[in-house]
Structure 1
Amino acid sequence: MNVKQQSKAVQAASLTPSQAGVGLLHKAFELLNLFQVDQANWSQSEIIEITEMSRSTVSRLVRYLVETGYLAEIPKTGRYSLGMAAISLGQRAEAGFDLKSFCQPALAELAEITNETIVLTAFDRKAKSAVCIDQLEGERGGLRVFEKVGAAFPLHAGAAPRVILAALPVKEQDAYLLGELPAFTPRTLISPENIRKDIIRIKDDGYCLSIEETYLGAAGMAACFTGPDNYPAGSIAIAFPLHNMDDVKKNNIGIEIARIAESLSQKLKA
């Protein structure tokens, strides 16, 4: 959903009785929700056009949000971005949010469907890596694809990291692919051209399949889930021995992973 669609969805949402007396607060959140990764700054005229609020309402809200630090005016441009108060609020929310516990039902569902090892990763934005934060060993052999919880892989290597790479804005993908792309096995994708081709497949299919890219004898299948800002939050994946490949394909596990990941995304946005 793009910014305009999101704004219209907020407008369309009817206020409950408990919300009826906080119309201005509702408008303030609608305004703040415009500020997304793919459009991080807005002018007042743009806000008026997309929200269809009156000029006086937007002016009053923007002035208040600047005074309280939730918006910051970009000098000499007439445009605004999220301010330090908004950043601090996000950091406090992130610190108090337990992604592992939140995703437990999804991991359990996928484990029951597949009987294979299930891996949950979180996206480390600073390190540009996928960090394993939980792992459920499968009943069909207990294959482990991370040495331990807390282990990380760069975004190009394997299914669980690469679905996160595929969900990033194109500019960030391009910047990442200009860097070093280490190989973990002879089958790790390290060619930017081949990685871009696989990103296209991921977008078409909704999931990524990798074979022996991080561990010989093991394959993986993963889908990415996104946070409230539509930015990748992590991935949910299964890892399985190559000799189980036919069963995995036959049972359309990729479709199930994509469905479960999309469900996580919707719950994170709720």
Structure 2
Amino acid sequence: MRDTVTEPGVSGVGLLNKALQVLDQFTPENPVWTQAELGRATGVSKSTINRLVRYFCTEGYLIQNEIKGPYQLGPAAVDLGLRASAQFDIGTMARPLLEQLAGDTGETALLAAYRPRRREAVYVVQIPGPGEGLRVFQSVGSSISLYAGAVAKAILAYLPDEVQNEIVQGPLEKLTDNTITDPAILIHDLAEARARGYAISREETYTGVYGIGVPVFGHGGSVVAGIAIAAPTFRMDSATMLEHAQKVMAAAETISARLGDTGGSR
């Protein structure tokens, strides 16, 4: 008989949300957690954490390698991830278009998927540009905050107002001298990105790097990812920037259409 998770005042969708919060803490960067750490990270009560963790262990979604030791994802979670990957892989679908984009622009092309529960994006694909000189590289699988950089701001600009405001209010860590850390300036920058259809990063995350990012929309018109090109600033004059922006927008529109976006008003 399967274990059940019940607690007075915590049930239904509320309990499901707490359960997903717990599982969402297990990332490649932080794969191992104690119950106490999970409670602090999620704000879920000690008793509910204990019940959820015991349930996940029973079902194989978490494992504990030693008595009273920390927890990590179990075989059921791995199986679920493999099944999801087999059914849908935005990176595989978008890769040919990003390869074409990198070839057409001569610059590195990137795709980052939005992770709503963590308020961040994760790099899924990177195609190095064929251009000579400095090439920009991002580590595939690494996560990024949404307030700095072209692909991040392209996603942030189209998130629901309440989510966007939460992120904009910070904290906003200064990554370079050009990182926007003033919420009012960032809000204005996001409004401009929406007006023109693409976000611009002028050395916001890396010194000497210029980026152009465009959102990718899924079925129903919600933003699910972003694509961008990244180039050294000395190769990105105004005319080149405008020309490349059109190519990035065209690639993003094609990817969005393949994901079921109908291109309605936003």
Range of TM-score over shorter length: 0.5 to 0.7
Q: Which residue of 1 aligns with 2:160?
A: 169
Among 137, 141, 156, which residue is 2:128 paired with? Answer: 137
- Paired residues of 1:119 and 1:237 also in contact (CA < 8 A): yes
Correspondence list, 1:97-176, <5 A: 97-140=88-131, 141=133, 143-146=135-138, 148-176=139-167
AA at the equivalent of 1:180? P
Identity rate of aligned residues, in percent?
33
AA at the equivalent of 1:114? T
Q: Which residue of 2 aligns with 1:239?
A: 230
Residue-by-residue CA offset, 1:196-254 (whole Å, 9 max, x unaligned)? 11111111111111111111011111101011132211111101001001276366111
Q: Which residue of 2 aligns with 1:203?
A: 194
In the alignment, the residues of structure 1 paired with residue 237 and residue 89 of structure 2 have an alpha-carbon distance, to the nearest angstrom, of: 35
In the alignment, the residues of structure 2 paired with residue 101 and residue 122 of structure 1 have an alpha-carbon distance, to the nearest angstrom, of: 12
- Relative to structure 1, the CA distance from residue 190 to residue 95 in structure 2 (aligned partners, 3 Å threshold; closer, same or farther) is farther
In the alignment, the residues of structure 2 paired with residue 250 and residue 169 of structure 1 have an alpha-carbon distance, to the nearest angstrom, of: 28
TM, length-normalised to structure 2: 0.63
TM, length-normalised to structure 1: 0.62
- Relative to structure 1, the CA distance from residue 250 to residue 128 in structure 2 (aligned partners, 3 Å threshold; closer, same or farther) is closer
Root-mean-square deviation (CA, aligned residues, Å) is 2.2
Q: Which residue of 2 aligns with 1:217?
A: 208
* 3-state SS of paired residue (2:256): helix
2:178 equivalent to 1:187: yes
- Paired residues of 1:184 and 1:214 also in contact (CA < 8 A): yes
Matched pairs, number? 180
Correspondence list, 1:71-82, <5 A: none
- Paired residues of 2:136 and 2:209 also in contact (CA < 8 A): no
In the alignment, the residues of structure 1 paired with residue 197 and residue 254 of structure 2 have an alpha-carbon distance, to the nearest angstrom, of: 13
Among 252, 263, 266, which residue is 1:261 paired with? Answer: 252
Displacement over 2 Å in runs of 4+: 92-96, 247-251
**Deviation of residue 93 (structure 1)?**
5.6
- Paired residues of 1:116 and 1:137 also in contact (CA < 8 A): yes
In the alignment, the residues of structure 2 paired with residue 135 and residue 153 of structure 1 have an alpha-carbon distance, to the nearest angstrom, of: 14
- Paired residues of 1:117 and 1:142 also in contact (CA < 8 A): no
In the alignment, the residues of structure 1 paired with residue 108 and residue 162 of structure 2 have an alpha-carbon distance, to the nearest angstrom, of: 33
**Deviation of residue 137 (structure 1)?**
1.0
- Paired residues of 1:122 and 1:233 also in contact (CA < 8 A): yes
- Paired residues of 1:145 and 1:215 also in contact (CA < 8 A): no
- Relative to structure 1, the CA distance from residue 95 to residue 173 in structure 2 (aligned partners, 3 Å threshold; closer, same or farther) is farther
